[in-house]
A and B are shown apart, each in its own frame.
Chain A
Amino acid sequence: MLECGDIMHKILIIEDDEIIRNELEKLLTNSGYQVLILENFQDSLNEILKLSPDLILLDINIPYINGEVLLKNLRNYSNIPVIMVTSINSQIDEALSISYGADDYITKPYNPNILLLRIGAVLKRTNQNFNILNYKDLKINLGKGIITKGRKEIILTKNEMIIFSYLLNNQNRIVTRDELMTDLWNNDEFINDNALTVNISRLRNKLNDIGYKNIIETRKGQGYILL
């Protein structure tokens, strides 16, 4: 992520279960985020403001203060995006959290890939100029589904664009097929394994046509990586 000229996003985890906290830290670090952990729950609000993260993952059941109350207090000072993470799966709690100013609400146990997608979506919403991405001398217009290289233009299908932009947003690390599949299904493209393989090879061919040969490498048994 750093090399695409993007800043590394700081994510603060506020969660009192140590095992989950450590696993989350691993997951987010592997996905290219900088992870901060709140150690001192007694003075949560000031700690948060001091750390000034780009996004907060906030558990509702935390010591000393309820997560919803903390969120409400936080909103008096700052607009940092907050994703509530909780084991209470109820529409009422969700509505309450959103009304207190949460940007999203995820229930445990969550699919880690979906958690990553939601984090990406919230960050994307807060960073406005995300519609046009760059890769080397390519300009990628997500909205139009077009990649331009100078005057040359190639048109990607919706599936190809989802795959390419996911790889691009997670450049320099191996992206699993599972992650790609989750992102596709998350965009209402309920395709199967064969279709994913076909889409990737089509995407490779199209990139090949504009002179980028073998930029998507297959790592056997692990996934793909965009060089």
Chain B
Amino acid sequence: MKLKDYLKDKILEITFFLISIIIIFLILVAFKINYQVTISIIIITFFTYVILLLIDYFRKKNFYRDLLCNIASLDKSYLVLETISEPNFYEGKLLYQALYEINKSMNENVKSYLEQLSDFKEYIEMWIHEVKIPLSSLMLNYNNKNIVDVSSKLSLKRLENYVEQILYYVRSEHASKDYLIKEVDLSKVVKNVGLKYMDDLLNSKIAYKVSNVNNKVLTDSKWLEFILSQIVNNSIKYKRNIKNSYIKITSIDYENKTTLLIEDNGIGIPSCDINQVFDKTFTGINGRTLRNSTGMGLFIAKNLCEKLGHKIEIESKEGEYTKVYLTFCKNKYYDVLK
């Protein structure tokens, strides 16, 4: 709140005051009052007014300065009411009360949405668990029939992957912590993902080349399995029609981190799309032209990585390769505890 703006706002009041001073001055002159008395009256009236104006200005100034300043500095500006005290002038009080009421009603509004959302998430989780039961019986039934029907098997797997995707989407958005960080063998995770996609890999004649993954990292094995699944799934989906398609998985151990590298010789990602592959529902040129893609897999993978404190990076040359780097930090504190 600048003095200049404040005075501009008060321009009507000031004008009236000046006019009335001139009128008083003219009246006093007309009645031929002593010259000195006239001057003193004018000066006293003038200064009294200026002082009143300044007092009013400073009272308001402090309140509005705090308000605006705090709004600007808070990342959640709706919390500003908590940071200022109730002002001691009438308009301020009105504003303060109004803000309080608005805040309260918005909180109630938000709360009802949160409740709806958490009900919905709960229902989705329950639904996922329910849908897995018939899915399991279908898989068992398929197996017991002893027929080789690759397409229905792959369809079942696809169904399973979509169900998993939504489960982890809910988990990654949920504030609650349903993960457990412990020491996990990378080779085991790589193996489980391989087993999960064995039929797909064999069917699309992609070699699953694993070397040097005998490192241990700190992570949640289920979450990591899901993240790796999404990467491998993409490699299968976007393979090139060449003879020696492969997915190579290796890990590199550094002093303070471990990196898992997943490399394929698929169609790659156009350079104009590469920066957006982790964006929600981003499908890009490949997704639009080649396969139906939801654009959710890598988004969820990135989200989960952020929660677990891992780094996920992607590098690609269109028509040649795609490399995904998953980086896990080593925790020295954890080593000390061991």
Query: CB distance A182 to B135 under 8 Å?
Result: no
- Which of chain A's residues 97-141 have a Cβ closer than 8 Å to chain B? 107-114
Q: B102 to chain A: closest CB distance in Å?
A: 41
Encoded as 1 (CB less than 8 Å from any B CB) or 0, chain A from 67 to 111 comes to 000000000000000000001111110110000000000011111
Hey, which chain A residues are within 8 Å of B207, CB to CB? Answer: 190, 192
Flag whether A222 is at the interface (Cβ < 8 A). yes
The contact of A89 among B141, B194, B202, B222, by CB within 8 Å, is B222
Decide: A110 near B195, CB < 8 A? Known: A87-B133, A91-B180, A190-B209. Answer: no
Q: A91 to chain B: closest CB distance in Å?
A: 4
Closest to B198 in A: A185
Q: A87 to chain B: closest CB distance in Å?
A: 4
The contact of A109 among B139, B179, B195, B222, by CB within 8 Å, is B139
Q: B92 to chain A: closest CB distance in Å?
A: 51
Hey, which chain A residues are within 8 Å of B336, CB to CB? Answer: none
Hey, which chain B residues are within 8 Å of A188, CB to CB? Answer: 187, 191, 210
Flag whether B60 is at the interface (Cβ < 8 A). no
The contact of A20 among B136, B191, B198, B220, by CB within 8 Å, is B136
Q: How large is the interface on A (under 10, 10 to 19, 20 to 34, 35 or more residues)?
A: 35 or more
Decide: A111 near B195, CB < 8 A? Known: A23-B141, A90-B178, A188-B210. Answer: yes
Q: B66 to chain A: closest CB distance in Å?
A: 45
Flag whether A19 is at the interface (Cβ < 8 A). yes
Hey, which chain B residues are within 8 Å of A181, CB to CB? Answer: 198, 202
Stretch at the interface among A24-32, A33-41, A47-55, A150-158: A24-32
Hey, which chain A residues are within 8 Å of B140, CB to CB? Answer: 20, 23-24, 26-27, 112
Q: How large is the interface on B (under 10, 10 to 19, 20 to 34, 35 or more residues)?
A: 35 or more
Closest to A92 in B: B180
Flag whether B129 is at the interface (Cβ < 8 A). yes
- Which of chain B's residues 136-158 have a Cβ closer than 8 Å to chain A? 136-141, 143-144, 146, 148, 156
Encoded as 1 (CB less than 8 Å from any A CB) or 0, chain B from 166 to 206 comes to 01000000000011101000010001001110100110010
Please, how many angstroms separate the alpha-carbon atoms of A78 and B11 in the complex? 92
Flag whether A3 is at the interface (Cβ < 8 A). no
Flag whether A186 is at the interface (Cβ < 8 A). yes
- Which of chain A's residues 1-25 have a Cβ closer than 8 Å to chain B? 17, 19-20, 23-24
Hey, which chain B residues are within 8 Å of A27, CB to CB? Answer: 140, 143-144
Query: CB distance B133 to A20 under 8 Å?
Result: yes
Flag whether B223 is at the interface (Cβ < 8 A). yes
Hey, which chain A residues are within 8 Å of B222, CB to CB? Answer: 89-91, 94
Hey, which chain A residues are within 8 Å of B182, CB to CB? Answer: 91, 95
The contact of A192 among B146, B202, B210, B223, by CB within 8 Å, is B202
Flag whether A209 is at the interface (Cβ < 8 A). no
Decide: A87 near B132, CB < 8 A? Known: A92-B180, A109-B139, A192-B207. Answer: yes
Hey, which chain B residues are within 8 Å of A17, CB to CB? Answer: 133, 137
Hey, which chain A residues are within 8 Å of B180, CB to CB? Answer: 91-92, 95
Flag whether A221 is at the interface (Cβ < 8 A). yes
Hey, which chain A residues are within 8 Å of B223, CB to CB? Answer: 91
The contact of B135 among A24, A88, A108, A186, by CB within 8 Å, is A108
Closest to A114 in B: B195
Flag whether B119 is at the interface (Cβ < 8 A). no
Interface centre among B156, B208, B222 (most CB of A within 10 A): B222
Please, how many angstroms separate the alpha-carbon atoms of A92 and B179 in the complex? 6
Query: CB distance B191 to A19 under 8 Å?
Result: no
Q: A112 to chain B: closest CB distance in Å?
A: 4
14 A-B pairs besides A90-B222, A91-B182 with CB distance below 8 A are: A20-B133, A20-B136, A26-B140, A87-B136, A89-B164, A89-B167, A90-B179, A91-B179, A109-B138, A111-B195, A111-B196, A176-B146, A178-B148, A188-B210
- Report which A residues bind B (CB closer than 8 A): 17, 19-20, 23-24, 26-27, 30, 61, 87-92, 94-95, 107-114, 176, 178, 181-182, 185-186, 188, 190, 192-193, 221-222
